């Protein structure tokens, strides 16, 4: 691997010492200890698995959605703009983090949102929550939105 020094422009040969430059995935201890949220989708539905700290901050466990309760999904450029209502229970710092339940107009949304950035909004029917809002990278949000919409189309 070739790396260029920022200031001098010299070419540095060899393996960089930073794990994020050497690996394509986070370290094993982060994955094994479930410190980050993951979204899984299959023919039965969608499952949002929260990391330990996210579960603590949201005051809620993993969220499982049956395929029959999915109404559609969309990848959005700024998931924070789709937040509505008051957080209760959960953790919220305006503009920074929103974990847990947001209540508005007699409905509830479940949120795992960090800062202003891309994410996924999943619309639900016949469920405790009206929507699920999740901060995700653009490519993953687009892929999951397409998978959810395909699952909804198969069930219709």
Tens of pLDDT, residues 75-110: 999 999 999 988 888 888 888 889 999 999 999 999
Q: How many CB atoms lie within 10 A of CB 116?
A: 14
Q: What pLDDT score does 52 carry?
A: 83
Beta-carbon contacts of 81 under 8 Å, excluding residues fewer than 6 positions away, are 116
Structure tokens at 99: 């974990």
Expressed as residue numbers, the domain containing 114 is: 35-155
- Confirm whether 64 is domain-assigned: yes
Please indicate, yes or no, if residue 130 is contained in any of the structural domains: yes
Residue 28 lies in a domain: no
pLDDT surpasses 80 at 156: no
Mean pLDDT of the chain: 82
Residue 7 counted as domain residue: no
Domains in the chain, number: 1
Q: Is residue 14 part of a domain?
A: no
Q: Which two tokens stand for residue 118?
A: 């891309």
User: Residue 101 domain-assigned?
Assistant: yes
100 in any annotated domain: yes
Question: Is residue 122 one of the residues assigned to a domain?
Answer: yes
72-75 own/partner pairs: CB under 8 Å, 24+ apart: 72/122, 72/123, 72/148, 72/149, 72/152, 73/120, 73/121, 73/122, 73/123, 73/144, 73/145, 73/148, 73/149, 74/120, 74/121, 74/145, 75/118, 75/119, 75/120, 75/138, 75/141, 75/142, 75/144, 75/145
């Amino acid at each position: 691997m070739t790396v260029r020094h920022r200031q001098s422009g010299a070419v540095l040969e060899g393996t960089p010492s930073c794990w994020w430059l050497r690996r394509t995935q986070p370290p094993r201890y982060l994955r094994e200890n479930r410190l980050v949220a993951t979204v899984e989708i299959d023919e039965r539905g969608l499952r949002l698995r929260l990391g330990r700290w996210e579960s603590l901050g949201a005051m809620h466990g993993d969220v499982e959605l049956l395929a029959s309760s999915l109404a559609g999904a969309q990848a959005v450029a700024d998931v924070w703009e789709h937040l509505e209502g008051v957080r209760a229970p959960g953790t919220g710092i305006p503009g920074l983090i929103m974990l847990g339940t947001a209540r508005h107009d007699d409905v509830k949304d479940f949120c795992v949102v960090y800062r202003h950035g891309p994410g996924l909004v999943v619309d639900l029917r016949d469920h405790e929550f009206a929507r699920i809002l999740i901060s995700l990278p653009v490519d993953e949000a687009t892929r999951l939105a397409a998978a959810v919409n395909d699952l909804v189309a198969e069930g219709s």
